[in-house]
Amino acid sequence: MKSGKNGLYEDLKRQILTMELDPDEDLDEVVLGERYGVSRTPVREIIRRLEGEGYVEIRENRGARVAPMNHSTLRNFFLVAPMVYAAIGRLAVQNFKPRQMTQLKDTQERFRTAAGSKDAPSMVLENNRFHEIMGEMSGNVYLQPSLGRLLIDHARIGHTFFRPRNEDMEKRLRVAVEHHDAFIAAIAAHDEDAVVDLVFEHWELSRENMEMFIAPQGLKADALVDGPAKLQMEKLS
């Protein structure tokens, strides 16, 4: 565990993404300050920063808590995630910088290593970073915050994906690694259509696993992928 403001910021993000801190869990400013060796003022600054990024919710007169996940947030997640991911993919192809491609490749290698060693927390973090970099490649100030918020819940909802319980889930994880390689190749080739096709394949892969555990009853994401989300992206293209 790192100390100081930066350590507090990075550790809280990591613990939220990997579900070490549960949704709705209260955050005690005094305890955090003592643990990281900082006063309450910088603790509050970090919590406000995390609130702006979607990790934390601050309630008047009740303090801060980890961002909740409920029926409404899950429904909205499943409705908009594929549309945002596809739009990010198209813009990434159009706007990526060479240094970002290097970062994407390096992150993929760390993800591959974590997958090979079945290091679930590292897989969660490296997968999250992979898609963050695609957001940075897009260069779009409107979409990037939306992507960031989606990735928080994608990591939390889909954490079971990185803890495969059977051979089928292990196979899905291997396919996810292959998808990342394909993303890199398609972006490098400036192939927007291939990237968008991969977005929906990659989404379907993780969606099926997530839906087994938490999809709201009556809200089947396959209808969203093949229906409104994909139709909307076809209109945008």
Give me the percent of the chain exceeding a pLDDT of 90: 68
User: Is the backbone of residue 140 left (phi > 0), alpha (psi -120 to 50) or beta?
Assistant: beta
CA dihedral defined by 4, 130, 114, 152, rounded to 10 degrees?
60
Instruction: Give mean pLDDT, residues 66-74.
Output: 87
Say which residues have a Cβ less than 8 Å from residue 114's Cβ, sequence separation at least 6.
122, 123, 126
Question: Residues with Cβ < 8 Å from 28, sequence gap 6 or more?
Answer: 63
For position 230, what pLDDT does the model report? Answer: 47
Average pLDDT over residues 206-223: 57
Domain ranges of the chain: 4-66, 71-236
User: pLDDT at position 60, please?
Assistant: 85
Tell me the CATH number of domain 71-236, given options 3.30.465.10, 1.20.120.530, 3.90.550.10, 3.90.1150.10.
Answer: 1.20.120.530
Q: Is the pLDDT of residue 223 over 50?
A: no
Mean pLDDT across 91-115: 97
Strand partners, 234: none
Task: Check residue 64 and give its pLDDT.
Answer: 95
- Specify the DSSP element, H or E, that contains 57: strand 56-59
User: What pLDDT, on the 0 to 100 scale, is given for residue 214?
Assistant: 57
Q: Is the pLDDT reported for residue 226 higher than 60?
A: no
pTM, 2 dp? 0.85
Q: What is the pLDDT of residues 20-67, one digit of tens each?
A: 999 999 999 999 999 999 998 999 999 999 999 999 999 988 889 999
d(CA 159, CA 45): 28
CB-based contacts of 190, cutoff 8 Å, min separation 6: 93
Average pLDDT value for residue range 161-168: 77
Helices (H), the chain: 4-17, 29-36, 40-53, 71-95, 98-116, 120-138, 143-157, 167-188, 192-213, 221-224, 230-236
Task: Name the token pair of 101.
Answer: 């491609």
Mean pLDDT for 84-90 is: 97
Mean pLDDT of 159-186: 88
pLDDT band at 213 (very low <50, low <70, confident <90, very high): low
| Whole-number pLDDT of residue 1 | 60
Average pLDDT over residues 121-146: 96
Instruction: Look up residue 178 and give its amino acid.
Output: E
Lowest-confidence region among 153-167, 169-183, 218-232: 218-232
Q: What is the CATH number of domain 4-66?
A: 1.10.10.10
What value does the mean pLDDT of the chain take? 87
Residue-level pLDDT at 143: 96
